[in-house]
Amino acid sequence: MASNLLSGPHTLVVDDLHAEVAGKEILKGVSLTLKSGELTALMGPNGSGKSTLAYALMGHPKYKVTKGSALLDGQDLLKMSVDQRSRAGLFLGFQYPQEVSGLSLSKFLWTAYMQTHTAQTANTAQFDRDLKTHLQYLDMDESLLKRSLNEGFSGGEKKRVEVLQMATIRPTFAILDEPDSGLDIDAVRAVGETVAKLRRPDAGILVITHYQRILKYLKPDKVHVMVDGVIALSGGRELADELEAKGYDWVRIGITSPPS
């Protein structure tokens, strides 16, 4: 959960970030700058460190940062608790969303909405209108709102719920960890088109993915490729097409080959 407390330009600057899991180094010096108004794609093969970056930035205790920095609008993100990072404007859409029995989806979304509002500023009618609009974008049935959060939901429904949370919370920076994994063609289109519609000039989005297919809907401003714990290559959206045609091996070879 997150809150977009301030309008205007925002930056998330990650510099030489190293992180380990269970004593094994996964991130080996990641440097990355996200800016409001931009949609950035982070691609790479399995095990390259993409999800580790997402969890390390969000503050998961299993992911230990050993070196480097992460500044959200100049504030040291790494010194904040998970709750503080959320309130500062950071949101993480999970690759494997959890089920929460007894908490309805509608109650969860309203609670998240109220984290950024008071009883005086909350607008129930506007909340309901926006929720219905976002459900239509995502091709989700309103009956899901009455069910416990993610309980009995299909994989595609769970991924849609993550995007629905992002739409409700309106974070300053949203990280979506493989929102397209496990989805069929129609679901990828619905999720991709909805994320694209949710772009705002005062917020940034980072989408982590293996594949180019969702990017044709997102139309990212920047594409970064992570291999073996570092950003190995960066470019525009044409880079995603090149990766689709060539795979990742040529990038890996490029960073591991000794200089001639």
Domain presence at residue 6 = no
50 belongs to a structural domain: yes
CA gap 13, 240 in Å, rounded: 23
Q: List the domain range (segments joined by +) for residue 132.
A: 11-256
Kindly report the CATH number assigned to the domain that includes residue 63: 3.40.50.300
Tokens linked to 2: 């997150």
pLDDT at 8: 64
Note whether residue 5 is domain-resident: no
Residue 1 within a domain? no
pLDDT in tens, the chain (260 residues): 344 445 568 999 999 999 999 999 999 999 999 999 999 999 999 899 999 999 999 999 999 999 999 999 999 999 999 999 998 999 999 988 999 999 999 999 999 888 878 888 889 999 999 999 999 999 899 999 999 999 999 988 999 999 999 999 999 999 999 999 889 999 899 999 999 999 999 999 999 998 889 999 999 999 999 999 999 999 998 998 888 888 888 887 666 544 44
Q: What is the pLDDT of residue 223?
A: 96
Determine, yes or no, domain membership for 48: yes
Residue 170 domain-assigned (yes or no): yes
Specify if 167 maps to a domain: yes
How far, in Å, are 97, 167, 227, 228 from residue 254 at the CA level? 35, 38, 10, 12
The answer to whether 43 touches 224, Cβ cutoff 8 Å, is: yes
Domain count, the chain: 1
- The answer to whether residues 40 and 220 touch, using CB atoms and an 8 Å cutoff, is yes
DSSP-derived secondary structure for 220-231: -SEEEEEETTEE
Q: Which residues 6+ apart lie within 8 Å of 57 measured at CB?
A: 12, 14, 70, 77, 85, 90, 92, 175
3 within some domain: no
